[in-house]
Amino acid sequence: MEDILLSGQGTDKEQKRFELAQAAARVGTAVSIWVGLRLIFLLIDVIVTKRLQAAGISDSMLQIVDLALSAVGVYFVATPIALWALGMFKEGRFKALFAKSRMSGKEFAAAVPMGYTVTIGVNLIATVVMIVASGSLQQVLNSNPILNMPKGTLGIALNYVWAVLAAPIFEELLFRGGLVSTLKPFGNWFAVLVSAVLFGFAHGSVAQMLYATALGIVLGMVFIKSGSVIPCMLMHLIINFLGITISSLYSPERLGLVAIIGLLVMAVLIAGIVLIIVTLVNYRHKLSLGNGCTILTRGEKLSGLFKSAPVILMLLLTVIFLVLVTVPGLLQNVTSLIAK
């Protein structure tokens, strides 16, 4: 009898390893497509905008072209293809992402300041570390894409379209709806953490990587708890709205308005800190995501994930994208070689 039970456990483990290998291949392929197409559109964007700039095209038109080639390319082209690679358009999986949320209004209202606080906290820590490492506050500020978005009426409007509307919708569909759903059978926390790390790396910016990963963890928990991608989109939208609004309004001439917004943000952060403490003290059980999938150990899950060829390709493309965006002048040199 004992031999039969052990044999059954072995069969279950081998089946789970096989399923994990298939899921890893889908995840690696999907994110490779997303990052690869983002890289291609970035190179095209730089080449086209340089040529238009040399031809004397106005800054307003350049901003429109930049949005069309980056945001439209990544979200309206790359994301649907990546979701298709994950199999999200089969058997009603896509429709299921928009199920009625299991979270109450109070739970969601508490989750937003908590998520914002975690994101800002991690961002501040990362910023301090980068300042210490580089020895230059200005260099760190210049490397943050949120603080260096286009200004002016058109630029600000495009920022809201891109970062406040498009990003929350399409990124949540892929990274929470697609990746977490695909990896859930191997443990909810495993799915949340892996998707969050990939979400962070896919941003292609050291300045954004850590806080995007932290935000990804919070959004992944919301997705598991709610059973729907809609609360994730709303939460992502609110957090991006606050970031873009502060960035857009900041200027030496508007210090009074910036101070008022700063006080409002401080109030949200204080509320978030209080809610986090209360949750950790009294409601720790609510942080449990269930479904630990004990058939495979943590090491077996990670091994099964990272030995997949598509995942290795995904990591390679992510590193290339990160280096091109981070190393000063490298992107310009690469696009100059391509354009010749």
**Whole-number pLDDT of residue 71:** 79
Q: Structural domain tally of the chain?
A: 1
d(CA 25, CA 33): 12
pTM: 0.88
**Whole-number pLDDT of residue 4:** 45
**Whole-number pLDDT of residue 5:** 43
User: Angle 168-151-322 (CA atoms, 0-180°, nearest 5)?
Assistant: 55
d(CA 110, CA 307): 39
User: Angle 58-243-76 (CA atoms, 0-180°, nearest 5)?
Assistant: 60
Domain that holds residue 138: 2-339
Distances, alpha carbon 338 to alpha carbons 50, 158, 317, in Å: 13, 28, 18
**Whole-number pLDDT of residue 288:** 80
Per-residue pLDDT of the chain (340 residues; tens, 9 = 90+): 444 444 455 688 899 999 999 999 999 999 999 999 989 988 888 888 888 888 888 777 777 787 777 778 888 999 999 999 999 999 889 999 999 999 988 889 989 999 999 888 888 787 777 667 666 555 555 555 555 555 567 777 877 888 889 999 999 999 999 999 999 999 999 999 999 999 998 877 777 788 899 999 999 999 999 999 999 999 999 998 888 887 776 665 666 666 677 777 788 888 888 988 888 888 777 778 877 777 888 899 999 998 999 999 999 999 888 888 777 678 777 787 776 6
Structure tokens given for 65: 């072209």
d(CA 306, CA 3): 32
**Whole-number pLDDT of residue 149:** 58
d(CA 129, CA 139): 13
Locate tokens 């391509």: which residue? Answer: 338
**Whole-number pLDDT of residue 145:** 54
d(CA 210, CA 215): 9
Residues 6 or more apart from 59 whose CB is under 8 A from it? Answer: 152
Contact 67, 158 (CB under 8 A): yes
